[in-house]
Amino acid sequence: MQHLDPDRLVLLALSEETEGPGESGHLNECAVCRHELDALRTVADLGAESEDLRDLPAPPEHIWRRVEDGISGETPAAAPLERSVRTRRTRSRWLTPVLAATAAAILAVAGTVTVDRFVRRAPAETVTARATLAPLPRVPGAAAGSVQVLSDGAMRIDVRNLPLTTGFHEVWLIDPDDPTKMVALGNLPDRPVTVLPVPPGIDMNRYRLVDVSDEPHDGDAAHSGRSLLRGTLTY
Ligand SMILES: [Zn+2]
């Protein structure tokens, strides 16, 4: 199904153009476009109510031109021409800064919506293995995490409430049958979710113990021995 053009949804949200029969039909059937139009209308309302309009950036030229066309471009067919033109001019002068700001705000949202649409269309990531990370003894019990191994070989690590460190947190894969065998995957930056590539050729059935350690900045690449979280991958 062909969705409505995002630029067109912007103009519909601004109520500067009315839906054509094909568009109404599509909007009746398509929850995606209806949702986007609703979101754009919400922003349009916010833009119209905002008092700090001049602080917003100017919209790109092509959008602005279409917005202007929407205001003054059509020749009214039925209404008395003169009165209609005067109304439109008055309205145009009054609405111009509002519409400029609104179009800028909507454009930002439209970009997000387009990205969102793209992401929703992307094939779902396949999770090939997962683990729940639990705190080791002497680590605060609120510390926790989870791991997903994705089909493209990356590992997504989600951690929370890790104890503060003067060093850094590092992720390891360990062979539970021989815990001296381990592979460092990388550091965890200070954010909840990190995706780390798993080096090619690693046997994940063997190196199935995921370990998050507290590492000092001591130049020693080996495991510090201070494990914080651990969990075993299951398939
Ligand atoms: Zn649609």
Distance 20 CA to ligand 1 centre (A): 14
Run of H or E including 127: strand 127-135
3-state SS assignment for residue 73 = coil
**Mean pLDDT estimate for the chain:** 78
Residue 38, phi then psi, degrees to nearest 5: -60, -45
- The residues pairing with 211 across neighbouring beta strands, listed in sequence order, are 172, 230
* pTM of the complete model: 0.49
Distance 46 CA to ligand 1 centre (A): 24
Distance 57 CA to ligand 1 centre (A): 29
Higher pLDDT, 211 or 78: 211
DSSP state of 55: G
Task: Compute the C-alpha angle 91/95/99, nearest 5°.
Answer: 140
Distance 4 CA to ligand 1 centre (A): 6
Distance 119 CA to ligand 1 centre (A): 15
pLDDT score for 212: 96
Distance 38 CA to ligand 1 centre (A): 13
Beta-carbon contacts of residue 77 (< 8 Å; ≥ 6 apart): none
| Separation of alpha carbons 158 and 220, rounded Å | 25
Distance 107 CA to ligand 1 centre (A): 18
pLDDT score for 132: 96
Q: What are the structural domain ranges in the chain?
A: 6-121, 127-232
Q: Which amino acid is at 206?
A: R
pLDDT score for 206: 94
Distance 32 CA to ligand 1 centre (A): 5
Span 102-117, mean pLDDT? 62
| Separation of alpha carbons 174 and 181, rounded Å | 6
pLDDT score for 187: 93
pLDDT score for 76: 42
Confidence band of 80 (pLDDT split at 50, 70, 90): very low
Confidence band of 96 (pLDDT split at 50, 70, 90): low
| Placement of tokens 């031109």 in the chain | 65
Distance 104 CA to ligand 1 centre (A): 23
Confidence band of 90 (pLDDT split at 50, 70, 90): very low
Beta-carbon contacts of residue 101 (< 8 Å; ≥ 6 apart): 47, 50, 53, 54, 56
pLDDT digits (tens, 9 = 90+) for 4-45: 888 888 888 887 778 888 899 999 888 888 888 888 887 777
Distance 36 CA to ligand 1 centre (A): 9
| Separation of alpha carbons 158 and 212, rounded Å | 11
Higher pLDDT, 152 or 49: 152
Span 74-90, mean pLDDT? 41
Distance 162 CA to ligand 1 centre (A): 43
Higher pLDDT, 206 or 192: 206
Res 94 pLDDT > 60: no
Distance 30 CA to ligand 1 centre (A): 5
Distance 21 CA to ligand 1 centre (A): 14
Higher pLDDT, 7 or 55: 7
CB atoms within 10 A of CB 26: 18
Distance 103 CA to ligand 1 centre (A): 21
pLDDT digits (tens, 9 = 90+) for 118-173: 555 445 578 999 999 999 999 999 999 999 998 888 899 999 999 999 999 999 99
pLDDT score for 81: 42
Res 78 pLDDT > 70: no
Distance 201 CA to ligand 1 centre (A): 43
